[in-house]
A and B are shown apart, each in its own frame.
Chain A
Amino acid sequence: MPPISSSENLSRFILDEDCIRKKDNSVRWQAFKPPIRNLRLSVFRTTDVVEGEIWHIGSSIVAGPQGKTLVGRADLIASVVRNNGLDVVSQEPPERHADIINWPERREVRNEIAMKLAKNAQFYRNE
């Protein structure tokens, strides 16, 4: 896969129902916090991928192996990531997988950035 352009669509698959606010069906910012062990946020590159294939990736590659149910996905554009001081790089396999990197050390700043990513994300429920 070529390097990730800033116009690419990135999908963060949601595996926990509590990551969605019931009030307005928006995604919580915690869904965009990287695990503390490596500070890499796992996403998939989904530009020009048909809907059925996107959901297949989420179900069979992300949720299935964890024994989880796919709740939905939150999409955002790569430029949002880069405008917040982060970067997104290809991390295959699996195919189309990428990591959002360059997270700051300070936890409170990571929370603030995660809020900004969530604000610009669009949530789609897995029907």
Chain B
Amino acid sequence: MSNASLCAERDGITGLTMIGFGPESSTLKKLFSEAIGTVTIRRPLSETFNSLKRVYKKCSVKNWDGYDALPITPDAYWEAASFIKGLPSWLPKPDISGGPDGEIVLEWYRDSSRLFAISITGENELIFAGLFGPNSISGTIYFGDSIPEVIIDHIQKVG
């Protein structure tokens, strides 16, 4: 029993009591915490999808902004959904809005001098731009099955 240690405590989220002995118990406890953590992080993800649906519904008609905006297409919607699904869970969730070119805009915003946004048009590309204090960037990158590293780097830079 020298390596064994009693592990009995109540999980803060589920309220379940976890009792066990030894390293296996610790491993299970860790796996359980990770699983619960995933559930906790995915809760805001459903809010992000609700926001995406609301923006799509509102902006899928011509001239939704009063200045001749193009309607958001179903392709843009599905591509944005795919992007959001592919976001690493540890990244902050984007704020979602429409753009006048018929795109869905995902934005990470700290203030008007520090923000990063991606426009998604349903053409397998991410049109991005950002302000980082005195510096600014913009570009277009192919979007296939996974989110390019450069995009993740820029999201992180917003802080």
* Residue pair A115, B111 in contact (C-beta under 8 Å): no
A24 to B112: give the CA distance in the assembly, Å: 10
* Residue pair B66, A112 in contact (C-beta under 8 Å): no
* Residue pair A108, B113 in contact (C-beta under 8 Å): no
Given the interface pairs A15-B65, A66-B66, the reply to whether A112 lies near B100 with Cβ below 8 Å is no
**For chain B residues 38-64, which have a beta carbon within 8 Å of chain A?**
55, 58, 63-64
A62 to B109: give the CA distance in the assembly, Å: 29
Given the interface pairs A30-B97, A30-B105, the reply to whether A111 lies near B129 with Cβ below 8 Å is yes
Contact of A19 among B65, B112, B129 (CB under 8 A): B65
* Residue pair A115, B115 in contact (C-beta under 8 Å): yes
- CB contacts (< 8 Å) of A125 on chain B: these are none
* Residue pair B129, A112 in contact (C-beta under 8 Å): yes
In the complex, which range does the number of interface residues on chain B fall in?
A: 35 or more
A109 to B100: give the CA distance in the assembly, Å: 15
Q: Which residue of B lies closest to A19 (CB)?
A: B65
Contact of A108 among B66, B109, B140 (CB under 8 A): B140
* Residue pair A18, B58 in contact (C-beta under 8 Å): yes
**For chain A residues 56-81, which have a beta carbon within 8 Å of chain B?**
62-63, 66, 68
- A positions within 8 Å CB-CB of B: 15-16, 18-19, 21, 23-24, 26, 28-30, 33-37, 42, 62-63, 66, 68, 106-109, 111-112, 115-116, 118-119
Given contacts A18-B55, A111-B129, 7 further A-B contacts (CB under 8 A): A15-B67, A28-B107, A33-B99, A107-B101, A107-B119, A111-B128, A119-B113
- A-B CB contact pairs (8 Å), 16 listed: A15-B67, A16-B65, A19-B97, A21-B95, A24-B111, A26-B112, A33-B100, A42-B67, A68-B66, A106-B138, A107-B127, A108-B129, A112-B130, A112-B136, A115-B136, A119-B131
